[in-house]
Amino acid sequence: MRLRAVPVALFLTSLLAAQAAVPTPPAANPLPDAVADAIAKEGIDNSQVMRLLRDLCGKVGHRLTGSDNFTKACEWAKAEFEAMGLEVELEKWGEWKLAWNRGAWIGRVTKPVAMDMYVATDAWTAGTKGLQQGAVVKAPKADDAEAVKATAGKWTISKSKPSAAVRKATEAAGALGCVYRAGDPDKKFPTRVRVFGNQQTAMKALAEAPTFPEIAVQADHFDALMAMVEEGKDVACEFDIQNSFREGPIELNNVVATLKGSEKPDEVVIVSSHLDSWHQKQGTTDNGTGSTTTLEAARILTKLGIKPLRTIKFCLWGGEEQGLLGSRGYVQRHRTDMTKVSAVFNHDTGTNWAQSIGVSQAMADQLAPLLAQANRVLKAPDADWDKPVFEFNVQQRVTGGGGSDHASFIAAGVPGLNWNLKGRSNYFEYTWHTQWDTIDVAIEEYQRHTATLIAMAALTTANLPAMLDRAAVSAGGGGGNQSAAFASAWFEAEMEEFTFKSVKEGGRAAKMGVQKGDVLKKVGGQDLERLRQIFQFARETEGDSVTFTFQRGDKAFEAKMKKDDLPQNQRPGEGRGGRGGDNTPRDTVPPAGGGQGGGQRSSGGD
């Protein structure tokens, strides 16, 4: 990415003038030309955003909420903000009884052939306590006493994770653990692996922590393993799953850095992203990319010595992946101050570049200087882009949904704005929560652009004559779990866990005969334990339709829907502005380094 040329002498003169001018009331122009030029110059030519991202993903790695790595990430971010001269607080929002950490995950077939496998586990599940070797047998039914007894000292194998009853029975019989086909491959990405986890386990006492390993195997490797078993061969495997629980309590924090306002310090603009990630890989695009544009926006403004009219807070949230826990905790703690929060600019959903943002007409009118300056000083990071570099998506209402942390603020009546992204990165299909979410998928020119735009947006909003208009903000609701937003969008109904609270007339749920109060029990014949399994099980179902099983009172009923009638490749907010807005890739980034083949070892340093 390149800027319009600015002669060095003119730039230095303009920069000095800009720094002197900013502390004065900027009612006439909240983002003067000289200031916009200085921000763009620093953000593009002197960017540190990739250095920050490499440090976060390489030196810290994954950042599962409630892990020691997440604590390390908070401390790392605090030190980075402090080096900029900002006031920084690790602000507590929660405390869990157990910490959970992962090391390496190793799996291989030892006979009848030698074969390395890519393996993973859900978070908050048991490790193997060293390398464990044993024969492989099909998982039995829970009530088949002889078959259960025969699993002693062996690994059980099944296409999907066995039911809780089967896991309990085989563990009691002395099985080594269960092995199942990893979730979420599809025709386009047949070796994709996604693993999640249930944080409620972290609320238990150490004596109640799981002890039975549950190991997901990449689809192609699993299929080869299962074929050997079904052919009646003598099959053995070995696994070393280095998961561990540590007795807490473990404190859970947000990182909050403050650039104090010069004239209205009690009024606040928030720049934010979530620092936590899932645990499978490095959490680069979910959400290291957002965390480091937040840090970089702070660095740009502090490097230039800019003094905003209002206070700007740079917030890195925890617990987003478990239901916006950190941002909801912040809103609750500061609930009496929400009327003084002018706006929240939240960056999530990957490395594509910020090209637009959804606002009301009144907000667009106030932020017109940002629109003008962004299109004046920035060039699109894609050379073939022939539309405006930046634009507003004007909406009648600004709504949150449950996708990302801006929703927590919308629920409190605050303008929570989430960037809509464009570019060649295939976030939702390729990197989102997969084994491919590593540093090599980040796109530097996009990161530079987005961080620079965020800095401009934060300063413009902080320097407006009045706080951002909030008349169009749909307060209430929001702040929910991402998977609930997935499910509601899928079924075109409001859901609370598996229960339908309301059903849209003519929507997908209504077409299947679902009524208010019905409970979703199974997808594709598989029992549901967590909401996100709805989408996994639907994708795993063979054929052109999916069978859903519902409970109404004491009666169960089934309904089918064609796969073509279900939303394709959709995540919460995709194409709706809820989580990342328009984030459709212009091109697909191919798997790097043979990513389709996975690998045999997943390091805890990822």
pLDDT of 41-60, one tens digit each? 999 999 999 999 999 999 99
Q: Read off the pLDDT of residues 117-140 as tens digits, 9 standing for 90 and up.
A: 999 999 999 999 999 999 999 999
- For residues 90-99, average pLDDT: 98
DSSP 67-97: SHHHHHHHHHHHHHHHHTT-EEEEEEEEEEE
Q: Report d(CA 218, CA 224) in Å as an integer.
A: 10
What is the number of H-type helices and E-type strands within the chain? 16, 21
For the ranges 12-26, 197-211, 523-537, the lowest mean pLDDT is seen at 12-26
CATH at 433: 3.40.630.10
Residues near 396 by beta carbon (within 8 Å), at least 6 away in sequence: 360, 472
Together in a domain, 37 and 176: no
Together in a domain, 274 and 360: yes
CATH at 549: 2.30.42.10
Q: Read off the pLDDT of residues 146-158 as tens digits, 9 standing for 90 and up.
A: 999 999 999 999 9
| Residue 45 included in any domain | yes
Proportion of the chain above pLDDT 90, given as a percent: 78
Together in a domain, 238 and 265: no
| Residue 520 included in any domain | yes
Q: Read off the pLDDT of residues 182-203 as tens digits, 9 standing for 90 and up.
A: 988 999 999 999 999 999 999 9
| Residue 251 included in any domain | no
Spell 570-604 as b/e; 16+ CB within 10 A means b.
ebbbbbbbbbbbbbbbeeebebeeebeebebebeb
Q: Full-prediction pTM beyond 0.95?
A: no
DSSP 31-64: S-HHHHHHHHHHHHHT--HHHHHHIIIIII----
Together in a domain, 221 and 279: no
Q: What is the pLDDT of residue 543?
A: 77
User: Is residue 506 within 8 Å of 512, Cβ to Cβ?
Assistant: no
CATH at 112: 3.50.30.30
Q: Read off the pLDDT of residues 488-521 as tens digits, 9 standing for 90 and up.
A: 878 988 888 899 989 989 899 999 999 999 999 9
Cα 331 to Cα 254, 334, 407: the distances in Å are: 12, 5, 11
User: Is residue 519 within 8 Å of 566, Cβ to Cβ?
Assistant: no
- For residues 229-246, average pLDDT: 98
- For residues 530-544, average pLDDT: 78
Together in a domain, 400 and 540: no
Of 436, 396, 431, 399, the C-alpha closest to 415 is 399
Q: Kind and range of the H or E element at 168?
A: helix 164-173
| Residue 481 included in any domain | no
Query: Considering just the CA atoms, what is the radius of gyration of the chain in Å?
Result: 25
Together in a domain, 314 and 207: no
Together in a domain, 239 and 264: no
CA angle 574, 577, 582 (to 5 degrees): 55
| Residue 470 included in any domain | no
CA atoms within 13 A on the CB side of 496: 6
Token duo for residue 61:
């790695």
Domain count, the chain: 3
Together in a domain, 412 and 457: yes
Q: What is the pLDDT of residue 63?
A: 98
Q: What is the pLDDT of residue 21?
A: 40
Please provide the average confidence, as pLDDT, over all residues in the chain.
89
CA atoms within 13 A on the CB side of 125: 23
Boundary-marking domain end, from 245, 275, 306: 245
Residues near 227 by beta carbon (within 8 Å), at least 6 away in sequence: none
Together in a domain, 311 and 279: yes
Q: For residue 146, count CB atoms less than 10 angstroms from its CB and return exposed for 0-12, middle for 13-18, buried for 19 or more.
A: exposed
Together in a domain, 274 and 405: yes
Strands 310-317 and 264-274: parallel
Q: What is the pLDDT of residue 437?
A: 98
Together in a domain, 227 and 270: no
Q: Report d(CA 352, CA 385) in Å as an integer.
A: 13
* Domain range for 512: 487-565
Q: At what angle do helices 444-462 and 289-303 cross, to 10 degrees?
A: 60
Together in a domain, 494 and 453: no
